[in-house]
Copies of this chain bind each other. A is one copy, B any other.
Amino acid sequence: MAGKKALVLSAQNFEDTELICPMNRLQEAGYTIDLAAPQSGDFKGKVGYTAQANMSVSELPEDPGREYELLLLPGGKAPAELRKLDKAIQAAKSFDALGKPIAAICHGPQILITAGLLQGKNATCYSSVVEELKEAGANYLDQEVVVEGTYVFSRYPGDIPAFNREIMKQLDMG
């Protein structure tokens, strides 16, 4: 899988393991990760890890779904910041339009809600996001992982094993 790339969008106060464990899993499978945040450089997780964004969200290409095999949206407080950024919303729409996998956990689906991509889809998310997920027209399911077409959703860190398993299946590596 040399040369394959995944895009991760996150920000300050990300849920640490929801960023780190799926990134580790993708790297294990030979993927190169581009991690984009509101500003490039170091930023901190809720629990205390430091992540390093190698690009800012503003530097994302116009149509990142052409360049990457997967869009990963970890949770924590990061998605509340990312959903304010047009380039982050545009990135999610690009992956959707091109039929490329999007994996969102915890608060990650907030970005997809703002992008208007969840209407009519089965989905899951963190408990505090359930109401807005439903208002966005999604069918909320309280399951460790929900797969809907090219989308993978999970609820919280305890779901990471199932979340990663379904991400790998989307990439034909499961």
How far is A116 from B161 in the complex, measured between Cα atoms in Å? Answer: 34
Name the residue on B nearest A26 (C-beta).
Answer: B161
Number of copies: 2
Restricting to A137-174, which residues have a CB under 8 Å from any CB of B? 157, 160-162, 164-165, 168
Tell me whether A127 is interfacial, beta carbon within 8 Å: no
Restricting to A19-41, which residues have a CB under 8 Å from any CB of B? 20-21, 24-25, 27-28
The interface size of chain A toward B, counting residues with CB under 8 Å, comes to 18
Taking a contact as CB atoms under 8 Å apart, the answer to whether A21 and B27 are in contact is no
How far is A162 from B28 in the complex, measured between Cα atoms in Å? Answer: 6
Tell me whether A47 is interfacial, beta carbon within 8 Å: yes
Out of B27, B47, B162, B165, which one reaches A49, CB within 8 Å? B47
26 A-B pairs within 8 Å (CB atoms) are namely A16-B16, A16-B17, A17-B17, A17-B24, A17-B49, A20-B21, A20-B157, A21-B21, A21-B24, A21-B25, A24-B25, A24-B161, A24-B164, A25-B25, A25-B28, A25-B161, A25-B164, A28-B160, A28-B161, A28-B162, A28-B164, A28-B165, A28-B168, A47-B47, A47-B48, A48-B48
